């Protein structure tokens, strides 16, 4: 999804400032607090039960229980003691049942981000050369060429992004087979590298989820992977389509839910977008923007719910929060695949896209806040909310400090406007959004896989320490804003291939 507000002579400031905008819908606050308090009783009693169990264990080893039993028999309080012991055993049984029935953890064992072939790099100069050639052929008008050049230079992309072979060729090859070739190159490379990195054999994959919005052949992309890697006949497969740039988080959420159902399982999640058949050869400005921002990319991620994998895992998945604004027509239609007046197919982007993204962001973080913010921030926010909503006091909304909840931020690289706006709205530092800007510059808008490129940048250049938290946030058609929260279970400093040859990115990004 593109989020470059400047294309329509707007700026990142046009995203509604959730700090001073319309009142926060109470339903989003309720969602977060409902999730927080759902297990409040168990969380409150668990420490006391644990203390009781440890005390009983200590008394047993020290012989206190045996002496207490003899004393009870001599003083005729045997029944009372028996009731006491049975009560303790019942309490221990309840706690044991809870731990036996609790949801298994979801660990991230490893992932790989696709890096294109050198001959498929698309510099800004080459992009304009190709575009002007299409103008000479009567495909683009002079106005459309000028518009694309403006978007390209304001979009935040560098000169080393990648496009597929079919678009690079002359004449352009947008055939079904060319699109399949692009999918094979990206998907097979990501899966092969990820499985090798994590030591998981293809036949050991229990769940396979693939998301790609705009290219959905038959057989599906998930079937393509099953065939290539000769996976088991009973592997559980899903192929998610049409869900936009936030589908990467949606796939993680689906994998999490499946891993709650299937014990001792391994899930493979693959996120990508296909460019070959989705390059727009028309002259509608609102449909030309994707040409300037979207580029080839993909990522494959291995997840496991086996507790023994914690020692070699990178992260544990803590939360997935999905927000869907599709009940409103303006939100639903703001990113819309359609044909123009000349029957050329492309993706329409509404001029209100930034405003709509702001609404979705506010709804998402209002639900996410109670799950992740420190108790002090939650109390301040709650008191402020009661003062404004219940007591009708004229006080400014209290803005929680999300920097207290997360150490690392992976913002979807929808465009320079999106990154700038989130930096301002969440009051993040330049260093916190730096990895997202570098990813946009080096790889462009790589759709649902972009949050993994940002995380790989952080791991390669900074590293993630054990206990630190990562927030992945993405926007997508529909309209959706989705978040995934991870906690590092070990120190992570992997050097990803995607960033090993891009040491000059820091110098180029302003």
Percentage of the chain modeled with pLDDT above 90: 66
The 10s digit of each residue's pLDDT in 195-208 is 999 999 999 999 99
- The dihedrals phi and psi of 379, each to the nearest 5 degrees, come to -65, -45
Q: What is the mean pLDDT of residues 468-474?
A: 97
* pLDDT-based confidence at residue 26 (cuts at 50, 70, 90): low
Active site annotation includes 239: no
Total residues belonging to the chain: 510
Q: Which one of 190, 245, 334, 481 is the catalytic residue?
A: 245
Active-site residue, selected from the candidate residues 445, 457, 481, 482 = 445
Q: How many helices and strands (H and E) does the chain possess?
A: 19, 13
Active site residue 34: no
Catalytic residue among 112, 331, 359, 412: 412
CB 6 within 8 A of CB 341: no
- Mean pLDDT of the region 256-260: 96
Which stretch of 58-72, 178-192, 211-225, 305-319 has the lowest confidence by average pLDDT? Answer: 58-72
Identify the band that residue 145 occupies on the pLDDT scale cut at 50, 70 and 90: very high
Question: What local confidence, expressed as pLDDT, does residue 390 receive?
Answer: 82
CB atoms < 10 A from the CB of 334, how many? 23
Model pTM greater than 0.85? no
Catalytic residue among 324, 331, 359, 496: 324
What is residue 383's predicted lDDT score, i.e. its pLDDT? 86
Query: E-assigned strands of 138-260?
Result: 161-162, 207-211, 236-240
User: What is the C-alpha to C-alpha distance for residues 257 and 241, in angstroms, rounded to an integer?
Assistant: 18
- What pLDDT shows up at residue 200? 97
pLDDT score of 356 more than 60:
yes
What is the tens place of the pLDDT at every residue in 483-494?
A: 999 999 999 999
Residue 380: pLDDT band with limits 50, 70, 90: confident
pLDDT band at 400 (very low <50, low <70, confident <90, very high): confident
- Please indicate whether residue 324 is annotated as part of the active site: yes
In the set 211, 408, 457, 496, the catalytic residue is: 408
State residue 49's pLDDT score. Answer: 64
Greater confidence (76 vs 10) lies with 76
C-alpha 485/C-alpha 46 separation (Å) is: 25
Peptide bond between residue 171 and the one before it cis (omega within 30 degrees of 0): yes
Per-residue pLDDT, 22: 47
Q: What 8-state DSSP symbol labels residue 445? A: B
- Kindly tell me if the per-residue pLDDT of 95 is higher than 60: yes
414 pLDDT exceeds 80? yes
Average pLDDT, the chain: 86
Mean pLDDT of 296-306: 97
Give the best-scoring range by mean pLDDT among 55-69, 390-404, 451-465. Answer: 451-465
């Amino acid at each position: 999804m593109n989020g470059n507000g400047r294309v329509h002579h707007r700026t990142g400031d046009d995203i509604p400032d959730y700090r001073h905008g319309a009142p926060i819908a109470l339903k989003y606050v309720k969602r977060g607090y409902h999730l927080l308090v759902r297990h409040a009783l168990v969380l409150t009693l668990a420490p006391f039960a644990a203390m009781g169990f440890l005390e009983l264990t200590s008394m047993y080893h020290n012989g206190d229980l045996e002496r207490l039993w003899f004393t009870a028999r001599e003083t005729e309080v045997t029944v009372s003691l028996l009731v006491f012991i049975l009560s303790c055993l019942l309490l221990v049984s309840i706690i044991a049942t809870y731990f036996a029935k609790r949801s298994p953890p979801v660990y991230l064992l490893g992932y790989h981000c696709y890096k294109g072939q050198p001959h498929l790099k698309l510099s800004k100069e080459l992009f304009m050369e190709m575009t002007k050639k299409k103008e000479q052929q009567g495909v683009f008008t002079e106005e459309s060429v000028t518009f694309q050049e403006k978007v390209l230079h304001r979009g935040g992309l560098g000169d080393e992004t990648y496009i597929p072979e079919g678009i690079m060729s002359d004449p352009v090859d947008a055939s079904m087979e060319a699109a399949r070739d692009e999918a094979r190159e990206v998907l097979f490379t990501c899966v092969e590298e990820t499985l090798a990195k994590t030591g998981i054999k293809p036949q050991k994959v229990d769940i396979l989820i693939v998301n790609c919005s705009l290219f959905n052949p038959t057989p599906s992309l998930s079937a393509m992977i099953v065939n290539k890697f000769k996976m088991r006949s009973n592997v559980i497969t899903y192929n998610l389509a049409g869900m936009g740039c936030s589908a990467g988080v949606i796939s993680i959420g689906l994998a999490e839910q499946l891993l709650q159902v299937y014990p001792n399982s391994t899930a493979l999640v693959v996120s990508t977008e296909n460019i070959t058949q989705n390059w727009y050869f028309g002259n509608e400005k609102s449909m030309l923007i994707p040409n300037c921002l979207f580029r080839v990319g993909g990522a494959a991620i291995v997840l496991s719910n086996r507790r023994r994998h914690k020692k070699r895992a990178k992260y544990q998945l803590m939360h997935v929060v999905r927000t869907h604004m599709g009940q409103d027509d303006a939100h639903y239609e703001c990113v819309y695949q359609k044909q123009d007046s000349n029957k050329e197919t492309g993706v329409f982007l509404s001029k209100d896209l930034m405003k709509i993204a702001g609404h979705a962001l506010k709804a998402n973080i209002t639900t996410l806040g109670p799950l992740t913010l420190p108790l002090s921030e939650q109390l301040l926010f709650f008191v402020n909310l009661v003062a404004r909503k219940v007591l009708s006091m004229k006080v400014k909304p209290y803005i929680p400090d999300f920097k207290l909840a997360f150490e690392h931020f992976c913002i979807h690289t929808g465009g320079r406007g999106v990154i700038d706006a989130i930096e301002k709205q969440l009051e993040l530092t330049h260093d916190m959004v730096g990895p997202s800007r570098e990813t946009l510059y080096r790889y462009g808008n790589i759709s649902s896989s972009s949050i993994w490129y940002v995380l790989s940048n952080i791991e390669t250049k900074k590293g993630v320490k054990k206990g630190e938290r990562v927030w992945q946030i993405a926007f997508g058609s529909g309209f959706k804003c989705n978040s995934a929260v991870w906690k590092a279970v070990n120190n992570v400093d992997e050097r990803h291939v995607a960033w090993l040859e891009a040491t000059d990115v820091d110098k180029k990004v302003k």
